[in-house]
A and B are shown apart, each in its own frame.
Chain A
């Protein structure tokens, strides 16, 4: 039982993600997550503004069910499977974040400075999430994939555009964590 409630180590994560990919392909579909942003736009009526979104979203019902599963799985994990969200961080990471004003570093998955209730009352907090989301939606669609579609599916099937995309992910991620995070907090 301990295994269920303890955090799972990295060497369990890699194989289980690969098995998820295997099952997705075995079920007859291409593994990825970010195309759903487009599908949701189509469902919301984006086809009226651009032919790009004039697609039959019912063709992607399997992916929408996968998304519903992700939400249910997240809920089950947060309520039943993770009694303690403590993260075993490198002391350097903890010091760095404490120095730029983060509190209770590593005691929960999502820092209050970005995900806490204060953001409901602060324009800055609101904007951080909205703009990040915007970059995620725009970027994944422009790049043609996200971590699942490019980094895992694309790299493992040796596709050159995916290597470029992953290089881009790191350019952006490094700029964000080394330059932007310290300057906005």
Chain B
């Protein structure tokens, strides 16, 4: 299948997050309590190196597999939605120590808790879909 490379990339990404402890509840707790550098090092390092890649995309030095220029999708504009939505997400992240990709990785570690997190996340996404026209941006 032409998209099987994404399957392998998922396996790789999950191993990276697992081996660097970036899926551990404790690592996010200490991050939000400013008691350790570990997660800042990981996320900060990822952002700085990605900035270099973004520049290479922009200048057309790295093209995609089909030879097309790479354009990262522009996030929807707004002030309230990223701030308020971000705060809701941060609450869930801070309590459970899970963000979006790690929820799926946690399936390999703690099946039932991961399932509960996912069911909750789908209900949350569903409610957002129902309300999306009514919420302030």
Contacts and interface: CB of A to CB of B under 8 A. Distances in A.
A118 B20 CA distance: 27
A174 B126 CA distance: 26
Interface residues of B, number: 113
A143 B132 CA distance: 11
Given A18-B53, A144-B75, A164 B82 contact: yes
A52 B75 CA distance: 17
Given A17-B16, A93-B35, A38 B125 contact: yes
Contact of A77 (B78, B90, B108): B108
Contact of A10 (B25, B38, B65, B106): B38
Interface in A153-176: 153-159, 161-162, 164-176
B47 A151 contact: yes
A149 B122 CA distance: 18
A171 B121 CA distance: 20
A172 B9 contact: no
A41 B79 CA distance: 26
Nearest to B118: A133
A138 B125 contact: yes
A173 B36 contact: no
A72 B124 CA distance: 25
Given A8-B19, A136-B99, A146-B99, A17 B14 contact: no
Contacts of A164: 79, 82-83, 86
A31 B47 CA distance: 13
A103 B1 CA distance: 46
A156 B47 contact: yes
Contacts of A8: 16, 19-20
Interface in A65-103: 65-79, 81-82, 85, 87, 89-90, 92-93, 96-97
A92 to B, nearest CB: 6
Given A72-B14, A90-B30, A109-B23, A141 B128 contact: yes
B6 A14 contact: no
A172 B47 CA distance: 21
Contacts of A30: 72-73
Contacts of A40: 122, 125
17 contacts: A11-B41, A17-B46, A28-B66, A34-B100, A65-B10, A69-B14, A71-B10, A71-B104, A71-B105, A73-B108, A110-B113, A126-B116, A129-B113, A129-B116, A134-B121, A164-B83, A171-B87
Interface of B: 1, 3-33, 35-39, 41-51, 53-54, 57, 62, 64-66, 68, 70, 72-79, 81-101, 103-110, 112-113, 116-130, 132, 135
Given A20-B9, A174-B94, 10 more contacts: A66-B10, A70-B14, A70-B107, A74-B105, A77-B18, A120-B112, A128-B95, A137-B124, A138-B89, A168-B82
